[in-house]
Amino acid sequence: MPQQHIEFDVRKIREDFPILSRQLNGEQLVYLDNAATSQTPIQVIDVISDYYKNYNSNIHRGVHSLSQEATNKYENSRQKVQSHFNAKFPHEIIFTSGTTDAINLVAHGFETILNENDEVIVSALEHHSNIVPWQMLCEKTGAVLRVIPMNEEGELVLSEYDKLLSDKTKLVFVNHISNALGTINPIERIIEKAHGVGAAILIDGAQACPHIRPDVLALDVDFYVASAHKMCGPTGVGVLYGKEKWLNTLPPYQGGGEMISEVTFEKTTYADLPHKFEAGTPHVCGVIAYGAAIDYLNGIGFENIQQHEKELLTYATEQLTAIEGLRIYGPTKNKTSVISFNINGIHPYDIGTILDKMGIAVRTGHHCAQPIMDYYKIPGTVRASFSFYNTLDEIDKLVSGVKKAKAMLS
């Protein structure tokens, strides 16, 4: 998928993000919580404002001009998402309220497919949203949940994955990139192995899509999910890519308007894809803004994003590991711009609180990945996650802040 993009200039790019000029506690904001949510450029903010100022309307059912304009822009976003992920058909793109909603949609659908003693495989690196829905699914169906273990490097033990696979395996669910550690999983191999035993596979791409442009056709993945708010878009919008054959097989997730063909008190028939899975009034503005965010990211260029973020990760890793007593968790070389760390004898929450006083925004806790923390026998970590609009100067401020926090708390 060729990309056309501007020359990368981080200082010029930062001008697109109004929030980055804000001060907190008398200090210039250093935003390093991008794995939780990315910031939004003015180009996307303007699209949101324009929607409410000029053509705010419900879609698909209206004959008036505002409705038609909103419908056209909404469906144009669907085509942008289709192109971005290289899906075969636009109706393979289902808009949801987020990654979690998309995962639950698939889990709900498989309630009618799984049988008792069928097996479902997840990995030890998953976010809670890619664990809990499958636990609930297994409780309802009698299926058995299996877990691919991890190692000290923060990598999945693929030899154990091979042993877990069997003709009982019906579903495999793995994240593309770990939100807690930044590990990039070898999903190509994981997908191929799942298909080898006839299992369907869902990849959670929430953490990958800000850094990588996935090609769902090349991956031959059955389902791929992502969130707009981690891709410079608004909250409350996500996407489910599903192969046409699977989306036609799964029953509707919710009932209501839009997802129907005909309704009588005797029987209801359902709409064709994608509307079958999009009950009710959608987040019209959010979907349109998501399309604008995808345009923005592709304008920057994912090769540029990856190169800049790699520089940030390498520099931050070198500087932080030089601090005595600091440990980085998941130090695998195959990772993206996330660093999870602790300092001996200091609770991560206390470090995060002091950094906040210096205007530095990081995340502390278990990051909705408690099994990872249990593996390392820790309550949580300090997580600094970088985006293409971050700078080496901000890394220096982070390192200086961590040193100060250590001195204050030791």
Q: What residues are annotated to the active site? A: 368
Contact between 124 and 175 under an 8 Å Cβ cutoff? The reply is no
3-state secondary structure labels for all residues of the chain: CCCCCCCCCHHHHHCCCHHHHCEECCEECEECECCCCCCCCHHHHHHHHHHHHHHCCCCCCCCCHHHHHHHHHHHHHHHHHHHHHCCCCHHHEEEECCHHHHHHHHHHHHHHCCCCCCEEEEECCCCHHHCHHHHHHHHHHCCEEEEECECCCCCECHHHHHHHCCCCEEEEEEECECCCCCEECCHHHHHHHHHHCCCEEEEECCCCCCCCCCCHHHHCCCEEEEEHHHCCCCCCCEEEEECHHHHHHCCCCCCCCCCEEEECCCCEEECCCCHHHCCCCCCHHHHHHHHHHHHHHHHHCHHHHHHHHHHHHHHHHHHHHCCCCEEEECCCCCECCEEEEEECCECHHHHHHHHHHCCEECEEECCCCHHHHHHHCCCCEEEEECCCCCCHHHHHHHHHHHHHHHHHHC
